[in-house]
Amino acid sequence: MAPATGTAGDPVRRLTVLYDAECSLCTHVRDWLLRQPRLVELDLVPAGSDEARGRLPGLDHAATLDEVTAVGDAGQVYRGAAAWVVVLWALREHRALAHRLSTP
């Protein structure tokens, strides 16, 4: 799992999660995330959308269409498996699982 890029050491208080709005599994997971109690706010935004480009102008938006991407409010960027772990970490009932998944 690749580490996050961006501002190291800054706490994450909000995550923008970019998902493929054309993928039925991705939209199902988005709907599931919206129903979960959160410890960290999640903004779920379609990858490659005008909203995503406006919120995150420096991001490689073509890459966000290939793998799930989560961006922390201090600029941390998580891709692929690391993005899934940080999203689980943001959920009240799944933070312990995220800690288990992020350690050897």
Position 41 in a domain: yes
pTM of the shown model: 0.86
Position 8 in a domain: no
Q: How many domains does the chain have?
A: 1
Average pLDDT value for residue range 58-71 = 95
Rounded percentage of the chain residues whose pLDDT exceeds 90: 87
Position 6 in a domain: no
Q: Which domain holds residue 88?
A: 20-101
- Residues in Cβ contact with 28 at an 8 Å cutoff, skipping those fewer than 6 apart: none
Q: Does the pLDDT of residue 2 top 70, yes or no?
A: no
Position 13 in a domain: no
Residue 99, phi then psi, degrees to nearest 5: -65, -40
Position 83 in a domain: yes
Q: What CA–CA distance (Å, rounded) separates 37 from 14?
A: 14
